[in-house]
Amino acid sequence: MLVLFPALAICALVAAWGRNSAAPRLGTVLTWSGIAWAGVLMLTFHGAVISHVLCQGSWLYGLDQCRGISDETGNFSVAAAFLSFAAGLTYAVVLAVGGGIVEYRTRRLRSKG
Per-domain residue ranges for the chain? 4-112
pTM for the whole structure: 0.71
pLDDT of residue 76: 92
Q: φ and ψ at 32, to 5 degrees?
A: -70, -30
For residue 52, give every residue at least 6 positions away whose Cβ sits within 8 Å of its Cβ, in sequence order, or none: 59, 63, 74, 78
Query: In this predicted model, what pLDDT tens digit does every residue of 45-66 receive, in sequence order?
Result: 888 889 889 999 888 888 889 8
**Which residue numbers in the chain have pLDDT < 50?**
none
